[in-house]
Structure 1
Amino acid sequence: MIRLRAHHLLCLLTYVGRGYTPAFVAQYSAIVARLNAGEGAVLVEGPDDICAPMLDSGHHCREPRITTRDALAREAVAAALGQSLAPGDTIPLDGPTIARLRENFAAGTIRAACAACQWDGLCSGIAASGFSRTRLSGAPV
């Protein structure tokens, strides 16, 4: 089971193979491959499996502003999916769920957590392009 923090549910929607470091990108790409193969995901508080390569570098993964970002993302994703989400819940990342989240992301309805994120411009461009080149396809239903 892949451990994901809430704001990474948004980041996954636009992931095209770019990130902070080569190790981070390699880890992220491996996680996306596992999700695409149908491995499940569980919501966690704090650093997750995507954060792992950055934890020893003093990166922002444990900062309060990122905890706030997670709370905003969890609330928005839960509303978009019409269900509550809490740490420990499994997250369906199948094709229909990803399509629904991407529709909301493109419309801007689930992007409050993206405010002040350094990747916001890249993600906005990816959403505007119809999510072309994104790597997360979603496990078959």
Structure 2
Amino acid sequence: MVRLRGHHLLCLLTFVGEGYTPAFTGNFRLIAARLSNGEAIEIVEGPDDICVPMLDRPEAHCRNTDIRDRDAWALAAIGERLGIALKAGSILNLDGQRLDALRAAFAAGLIRAACHECEWSGFCTRIARDGFEGTLVQS
């Protein structure tokens, strides 16, 4: 099972292989492959499987309280869109229908409150505008 924090549910929608460091990107690529193969997601609080390569870096934002706010906003928006309650401990199966619904909502700006002040927001907006071409999480 892939352990993900709330806002990473948004990040996986637009992940095309770019990231903070080569280790981060390589790790995220492995996680994208696992998700594409149908592995379930367990929602966690705080640092998750995507964060692992960054946890030894003093500048990593993984433990910051503002990131926890992003997680909460993302879980609320995604849960509302999917019609389910999402919180730490929830299990989410991201099938093709859910992935498509989340990408459509992301492109329409309906689930992006957690993207506020994210340095990747403009990059992700371009990926959504281009129809999510090249994204690595597939169903």
TM-score by length of 1: 0.96
CA distance in 1, matches of 2:43, 2:90: 6
Write the letter of the residue equivalent to 1:14.
Answer: T
Look up the match of 2:97: 96
Q: Percent identical across equivalent pairs?
A: 54
Look up the match of 1:137: 138
Look up the match of 1:67: 68
Unaligned runs of 5+ in 1: none
CA distance in 2, matches of 1:102, 1:119: 16
CA distance in 2, matches of 1:30, 1:22: 12
Unaligned runs of 5+ in 2: none
Look up the match of 2:116: 115
CA distance in 2, matches of 1:65, 1:114: 12
CA distance in 1, matches of 2:69, 2:90: 19
Write the letter of the residue equivalent to 1:25.
Answer: T
Q: Secondary structure at the match of 2:110?
A: coil
Give the superposition deviation at 1:94.
1.1
CA distance in 2, matches of 1:37, 1:124: 25
TM-score by length of 2: 0.98
CA distance in 2, matches of 1:94, 1:47: 24
Q: Secondary structure at the match of 1:3?
A: strand
Tell me the number of residue pairs that the alignment of Structure 1 and Structure 2 aligns. 138
After TM superposition, which residue ranges in structure 1, 4 or more long, deviate above 2 angstroms?
Answer: none
CA distance in 1, matches of 2:61, 2:98: 28
1:84-114 Cα shifts (integer Å, max 9, x gaps) = 1111111121111100000100000000000
- Structure number with the higher helix fraction is 1
Aligned residues: CA RMSD? 0.6
Is contact 2:39-2:93 (8 Å) kept?
no
CA distance in 2, matches of 1:9, 1:26: 18
